[in-house]
Amino acid sequence: MIVDSHCHLFEMKNYTLSEEVYPVVVGYSHGSNKKVVEIARNGKTNKTTNPSHKYPYPIALGIAPQTALKELQDSERANETKLNEWVSFIKSNEPNAIGEVGLDYKWAQTKADVGKQMLVFNTMIEIADEMELPIVIHSRNNPNDNAADVPKNAIDKIIEMVEGRKFLMHFYSGNDEQAKRIFDMGGYVSIMGLRSKERRKVIEVVPMEKLLVESDCPYVGKAPEAAKDAVAYIAEVKNLDFEEVAAQTTKNAMKFFNFQI
Ligand SMILES: [Zn+2]
Query: pLDDT of the chain along its 261 residues, tens only?
Result: 899 999 999 888 878 888 889 999 999 888 899 999 988 887 754 444 444 456 788 999 999 999 999 999 888 888 999 999 999 999 999 999 999 999 999 988 888 999 999 999 999 999 999 999 999 999 998 887 666 788 888 999 999 999 999 999 999 888 899 999 999 999 999 999 999 999 999 999 999 999 999 999 999 999 999 999 999 999 999 999 999 999 999 999 999 999 988
- Centroid of ligand 1 to alpha carbon of 100 (angstroms): 6
- Centroid of ligand 1 to alpha carbon of 148 (angstroms): 27
- Centroid of ligand 1 to alpha carbon of 28 (angstroms): 6
Closest CA to 169 of 59, 5, 9: 5
- Centroid of ligand 1 to alpha carbon of 8 (angstroms): 7
Measured in whole angstroms, the distance separating CA 174 from the mean position of its chain's CA atoms is 14
Q: What domains, with CATH codes, occur in the chain? A: 2-257 (3.20.20.140)
- Centroid of ligand 1 to alpha carbon of 32 (angstroms): 11
- Centroid of ligand 1 to alpha carbon of 7 (angstroms): 7
Q: What pTM does this model have?
A: 0.93
Alpha-helical segments (H) within the chain: 30-41, 65-71, 76-92, 111-131, 154-161, 176-184, 197-205, 227-238, 242-257
Q: Which residues of 25-40 are buried (b: 16+ CB within 10 A; e: fewer)?
A: bbbbbbebbebbbebb
Q: Are the CB atoms for 7 and 32 separated by under 8 Å?
A: no
Instruction: Tell me the three state secondary structure of residue 116.
Output: helix
Summarised one tens digit per residue, pLDDT across range 209-227 is 999 999 999 999 999 999 9
Measured at the alpha carbon of residue 219, what is the angle toward residues 214 and 224, in degrees to the nearest 5? 40
- Centroid of ligand 1 to alpha carbon of 26 (angstroms): 7
- Centroid of ligand 1 to alpha carbon of 218 (angstroms): 9
The DSSP secondary-structure symbol of 101 reads: E
Summarised one tens digit per residue, pLDDT across range 73-97 is 888 888 999 999 999 999 999 999 9
